[in-house]
Amino acid sequence: MHFALLQNDFIKMSREELCEYYGANIFPQVPEDLKNWDSSPEYEYGIYRRNNGSGEVYFDQNVINYSNDNFSRNINIETAKGTMPLYDVAAFNGDDFIKSSIGGIEIGIGGTEDGCYYAEFMYKGVGFCIITDGLSQVELISVLESIMK
> Residue 21 domain-assigned?
yes
Other residues' Cβ atoms within 10 Å of the Cβ of residue 27: 19
Average pLDDT of the chain is 92
Q: What is the pTM for the complete model shown?
A: 0.91
Binned at pLDDT 50, 70 and 90, residue 88 comes out as low
Helix (H, G, I), strand (E, B) or coil at 148: coil
More confident residue, 39 or 104: 104
Q: What is the CATH number of the domain that holds 23?
A: 3.40.1000
Domain that holds residue 136: 7-147
Does 2 fall in a domain?
no
In the chain, how many domains are there? 1
In a domain, 1, yes or no: no
pLDDT beyond 60 at 91: no
pLDDT at 89: 59
Q: Which helix (H) or strand (E) holds 18?
A: helix 15-22
Q: Is residue 33 part of a domain?
A: yes
